[in-house]
Amino acid sequence: MDQSLRLDCRHENTTTIPMQFEFSLTRDSKKHVLFGTMGVPEHTYRARTNLTSTNTLKVLYLSGFSTKDEGQYTCELRVPGQSQTNQNVSVLKDKLAKCGGISLLAQGTSWALLLLLGLPLLQALDLGSL
């Protein structure tokens, strides 16, 4: 079964300056850019990634998730002229929780993991119902 990884990156931008962002994976001490506006995504990930974005949330989907995709995922956020923010999480395939969601995904869609990168989103969700 094809598994997908979902990474949520919650943020705030109180300026009118567009936010720059980058999702990356560090594996074997090498950084691999997956998606974003700051670095050039690696060719091997371009066909496997998709992004949805709102004013306060960027969601990266990585299809075909396998053990080759294990490592530390980072969501890097930057507003020019302000400090940079990084949010990190380590992902191992055998530690993923299987979920079925209907809020941001179509009903019946299988996905391996909902990673919540940001305390405000964690507090807003009732994780006991997942």
DSSP line for 68-113: GG-EEEEEEEE-TTS-EEEEEEEE-GGGPPPEE-SSSS-TT-EESE
**Of the candidates 83, 84, 81, 101, which has an alpha carbon nearest to the alpha carbon of residue 22?**
84
Give this prediction's pTM: 0.69
| Spatial separation of the C-alpha atoms in residues 11 and 54, rounded to whole Å | 10
pLDDT digits (tens, 9 = 90+) for 48-93: 999 999 888 899 999 998 889 999 999 998 888 777 777 777 777 6
Phi-psi map region of 26: left, alpha, beta (phi>0 left; psi -120 to 50 alpha): beta
Beta bridge partners of 90: 72
